[in-house]
Amino acid sequence: MFYRFRNDFQLSIITLLGVSAVTGIVPFAVFRFWNGEVLAGLLDTAIVTLIIAGMTYAWVTGDSRRAGVFMCVLISAGAAAVAIVIGTKAIFWIYVVLVTSFFLAPPALATVCNLLMLGAVVLVGDPFDQNQSLYSFLATGIMVSCCAYVFGRRNEDQRIRLERLATHDPLTGAKNRRVMEEEMQAAISTFERNDTPHALVILDLDHFKTINDNHGHGVGDVVLRDVADLVNRHTRLSDTLFRFGGEEFVLLMPGVRPEATASVAENLRYKIMTELRGPRGSRITASFGVASLRVGESDDLWLERADSALYEAKTTGRNKVVVAERMEDDMNAQAIEDDRLTTAVPSC
């Protein structure tokens, strides 16, 4: 619980808003009911209830972005409604909402909500006795929104950059190993739920150390980027490429049946061999290990089977595709044949 609160910024804002709604708005609702302001009290109660519902949704589902959008629209509409019903006494809540909106929703949506809220207060409610007060409210409201927009835009850009740094390999743009483990777990859950097949492909560049040793790591980095770009160009949008480490990449492919995995990997092997060139036009090749997800299999075992197939490809000549299921079938057939030959030898 505390891990999610610390690491999901938007969830923490939603939670703080929920706590603030209970501690800050509930007393006003009670006070208004006490004074006979039933409509205002009902508005406050409805706002608090919906905020708590949005906070609960965010915690239960983990969908803090959708919950943030909902709560941005809610507090904007609620603040406008309260200001229209009560008048100038509720205007101060508008400034809180003007800033909070940019923490909950994307800057563009928060700006629209703020403008609609200001327009509704001025055009529908008209809580100001003098034009000077009206102009001051509009001017300060727009200034606060502009400052909050700049902050919100900057915060959104930084969040996107930090998320990419945390989830992608900076050299090749492929996703990193931590994300791979999460998406493999998600693939297993999907497979258990609706039997959607998934294939795991590990590819390793052949003799890559020679490139680094003879031509430098800068040239090797260019080759790695070219490989990642080629794989992304020749796979589907639903397929995900990860950099596993060094010159190894992992490709997670949903919806690919076991009988089709070999041809998919073979196509990639051929594309790398024919389209990529290393220093001085040298040929780039890769070895592939492929494994389809099995019922009841863990992510570690799934990855281990694909890695064993890759090892078989590397030790039996490189620049080839080995499918774990076929390799295991061959090994089982060989073991049966060895047992048959053993039992067929007459004892002395």
The domain limits of the chain are 1-167, 177-326
CA 14, CA 137: separation in Å to the nearest integer?
Answer: 27
Report d(CA 316, CA 205) in Å as an integer. Answer: 15
The single-letter DSSP state of residue 90 is G
Question: What is residue 336's predicted lDDT score, i.e. its pLDDT?
Answer: 55
pTM metric for this prediction: 0.64
Cα–Cα distances (Å) from 278 to 200, 201, 207, 266, in that order, read 26, 23, 11, 20
Q: For residue 288, what are the β-bridge partners?
A: 203, 321
Tokens 């619980």 — which residue?
1
Residue 289: partners with Cβ closer than 8 Å, 6 or more residues away = 201, 202, 203, 306, 307, 308, 309, 310, 311, 312, 313, 322, 324
Give the separation between CA 314 and CA 123, rounded to whole angstroms: 74
pLDDT score of 202: 96
> Quick one: CATH architecture of 177-326?
2-Layer Sandwich (3.30)
Active-site choice (163, 181, 247, 328): 247
Whether 169 and 243 have beta carbons less than 8 Å apart is answered as yes
Q: Is 247 a catalytic residue?
A: yes
pLDDT at position 348, please?
47
Planar angle of CA 217, 222, 225, nearest 5 degrees: 125
User: What angle (nearest 5°) sits at the alpha carbon of residue 212, between those of residues 206 and 218?
Assistant: 120
R_g of the chain, CA atoms, integer Å = 30
Quick: pLDDT tens for 235-285.
Answer: 999 999 999 988 999 999 999 988 888 999 999 999 999 999 888 888 999
Predicted confidence (pLDDT) per residue in 137-166, tens digit: 788 888 888 888 888 788 778 877 877 888
Which pLDDT does position 129 carry in this prediction? 62
Yes or no: say if 94 and 141 are a contact pair by the CB < 8 Å rule.
Answer: yes
d(CA 143, CA 160): 26
Intervals of the chain under pLDDT 70: 1-8, 125-131, 328-348
Query: What is the pLDDT, as a whole number, of residue 204?
Result: 95
The per-residue pLDDT for 294 is 92
Could you tell me what percent of the chain has a pLDDT over 70? 89
Cα–Cα distance for residue pair 264/254, rounded to 1 Å? 12
